[in-house]
Amino acid sequence: MIADFSKDGALGLLTLDSPPSNSLASPVFTDRKELAAFLADPALKGVIVTGRGRHFCGGADRVALESAMEDPDRLAADLAKGKELLDIISFALVPVVAAIRGQCLGGGLEIALACHFRIAAGSALFGFPEATMGLLPGLGGTQANPGRMRRQALIDLVLSGRMVGADEALEMGLVDRVVAKSKVEDAARERIDELTGRRPAAVVRAIMESIHNARRMDRDAALKRETILFRELVKRKS
Catalytic residues: 110, 130
DSSP the chain: --EEEEEETTEEEEEE--TTTT-BSSS--S-HHHHHHHHT-TT--EEEEEESTT-SB--B-HHHHHHHTTSHHHHHHHHHHHHHHHHHHHT-SS-EEEEE-SEEETHHHHHHHHSSEEEEETT-EEE-GGGGGT---SSSGGG---SS--HHHHHHHHHH--EEEHHHHHHHTS-SEEE-GGGHHHHHHHHHHHHHTT--HHHHHHHHHHHHHHHHS-HHHHHHHHHHHHHHHHHHH-
